[in-house]
Amino acid sequence: MSRRSGGIRMQGARYCRIECLELALIEAFGRVRHVPRHAAIASHRIPLGLLLLSRGQLTAEQLRTALAAQRAAGCGKIGAWLQELGFATEGEVTAALARQWSCPVLRNGLGKIGASHFPSIPEMLLESFQMMPVDLVEATGTLLIAFSEGIDHTALYAIEQMLGYHTQSCLVSPSTLQKSLQALAHRRVSKDVILDRVEGAAECAHIIGSYSAKLHAEEIRMARCGKHLWVRLERLGHDAVNLVLTDPEHHDNSPLSPAIAFSPV
C-alpha cells in the first residue's frame, strides 16, 4: 500500500497500511449502515387516482374499477392498473406523478438521456432506482436526475456525496427511461464491480482493500444507496471504478460465498 502518494485517503484520513485501511472500512460500514433511512415514498395529500379524477382525466367508476382490480391482484401500482385497463395514458400518469412530487416532467431532450459524458453511476443503481442522469450544468455543478417511479431522495443524496454535484430531479415516462437504460447498456462497457451475498463487514473490507491496492486507488468514497453500499475508487489519471455491495443485513443468514462480477479495467 505504501506508494509515493502516501497511501489512500478515505473520509479525511490517509492510510498507508492495508490492515489500517480495512479496520477503518469496517468502522465506516457500521456508520453508513445505521444511518436512518428516510422513506423513499413521500406522503401526498391527494392520491394519484384522485388527482386524475379532480382534473377530469378519470371518472369515479373507472377509479373504482381500477382499485378493485388492484385489490384482487394484490399487487401493482394504481397508475399501472389505470393504463392496463385503458383508463389513462402513460403521459397522464407521469404528469400526475410529477404533480404529486412537485417536480417538472422531462418532455424533450430524449437524445441527451444517458449521454456518455455524464459522471459514472453504477448501472445496477440506475436500474434499481429507475433513474438516469439527463443534464449536467458544469457552471453551477448541478446534475439533473430523471426518475420514472417517484423521487428517491436517498439516491440523490448518495450521488451528491459520491460525485460532488448538487442534484435536481424530474420525472420521465417509464417507457422513455427503459429505452435510455437499454441504450446505455449497449453503449457503455461497464467497469463496475458487483459484490453480492458477502458474508459480513470484515469480508467487504478485505475485498475493497484488495481492489484499492490492485487498482492503485488514491481515494475511497462510500455511501449507502437503498439496500446497496456504493464504493467509488478514485484513481489519479484514470477513470474511477465503482463497487456495489449488497448490504449483508438484507440477506438471510445462509453461509454463501461472495459472487463477484468484474470487468477488467
- Shared domain for 146 and 92, answered yes or no, is no
Which among 157, 187, 217 is the end of a domain? 187
Residue 3 placed within a domain: no
Q: Where a domain ends, among 139, 163, 187?
A: 187
The pLDDT value recorded for residue 3 is 46
Residue 43 inside a domain? The answer is no
Residue 175 placed within a domain:
yes
Domain shared by 206 and 224, yes or no: yes
69: in domain = yes
Quote the cell numbers at residue 137: 450544468
Q: Residue 34's pLDDT band (boundaries 50, 70, 90)?
A: low
DSSP one-letter code for 201: H
End-to-end CA distance of the chain: 19
Read off the pLDDT of residues 57-97 as tens digits, 9 standing for 90 and up.
999 999 999 999 999 999 999 999 999 999 999 999 999 99
CA 99 from centroid of its chain's CA atoms: 22
Check whether residue 222 and residue 239 sit in a common domain.
Answer: yes
8 A C-beta contact, residue 146 and residue 113: yes
- Of 170, 187, 204, the last residue of a domain is 187
Q: How far is CA 43 from CA 47, 54, 150, 168, 259, in A?
A: 9, 18, 12, 20, 37
pLDDT tens for each residue of 154-202: 899 999 999 999 999 999 999 999 988 888 888 777 788 888 776 778 8
Q: Are residues 116 and 177 in the same domain?
A: yes
220 and 257 assigned to the same domain:
yes
The helix/strand/coil state of 228 is: strand
Same domain, 126 and 181: yes
Per-residue pLDDT of 201-255, as tens digits, reads 888 888 888 888 888 899 999 888 888 889 999 998 888 899 998 765 554 333 2
For the record, the C-alpha cell of 101 comes out as: 412530487
Query: 159: domain range?
Result: 110-187
Cell 388527482 -> residue:
51
- Helices 18-33 and 201-214 pack at an angle, to 10 degrees, of 130
Type and span of the H or E element at 193 = strand 193-196
